[in-house]
Amino acid sequence: MAVVNDSLKPSSGRVNETTRTQAVPVSKKMLWIGWIVSALPVLLLLFSAVMKFARPAAVVEGFTKFGYPQRLLLVLGIVEITCTAIYLIPRTAMLGAILLTGYLGGATATHVRIGDPAFVTPVICGVLVWLGLLLREPRLRPLLPLRS
């Protein structure tokens, strides 16, 4: 005879008050600061993607220096713009931040691999991505191990 756990049964359609995500208020000032902080890495990433599409000599030379084939310029530009667009949409901003973290982590590893001191640029960009999201999305704050 099988034992059935009642807690695993589907509910009657009503949402339990304790499981519902409640909106946490955010001040307009903090929201604006969050969008301004978010705009910094967004502008940098969009500029980077446009440069990959334009293929100026300096970008092609840099790609060669990093050991990547030129054919990846278009692909990486598309990935960069897609992840940035996902980050800009409020409903998908968290997913966008995660994707941008991966993308910027790859950029950091590329710079570190060849000993380029500019590895700090994608690190700072990643910090700004999450700081901007943290300021504009109050549901993230309880996840941080900071004490008030």
Task: Using the Cα atoms of residue 92, residue 98, residue 101 and residue 102 in order, give the sign of their dihedral.
Answer: negative
- Supply the DSSP string of 93-104, one letter for each residue: HHHHHHHHHHHH
Q: Cα–Cα distance between 26 and 138 in angstroms, integer?
A: 6
Residue 6 lies in a domain: no
Residue environment code for 97-125, b if the CB has 16+ CB neighbours within 10 A, otherwise e: bebbbebbeebbebbeeeeeeebeebeeb
Residue 98 lies in a domain: yes
Residue 36 lies in a domain: yes
Residue 5 lies in a domain: no
The torsion defined by the Cα of 107, 112, 115 and 118, in degrees rounded to 10, comes to: 50
Q: Cα–Cα distance between 27 and 143 in angstroms, integer?
A: 19
Residue 146 lies in a domain: no
pLDDT for the residue numbered 18: 44
Helix 57-66 crosses helix 93-113 at what angle (to 10 degrees)? 70
Residue 13 lies in a domain: no
Count structural domains, the chain. Answer: 1
Q: Which structural domain range is residue 50 located in?
A: 26-137
Q: What is the pLDDT along the chain (148 residues), one digit of tens a residue?
A: 455 554 445 555 554 444 445 556 778 998 999 999 999 999 999 999 999 999 999 999 988 889 899 999 999 999 999 999 999 999 999 999 999 999 999 999 999 999 999 999 999 999 999 999 999 988 888 887 776 6
pLDDT for the residue numbered 17: 44
Residue 148 lies in a domain: no
pLDDT for the residue numbered 143: 84
Residue 96 lies in a domain: yes
pLDDT for the residue numbered 125: 97
Tokens found for residue 119: 């590895």
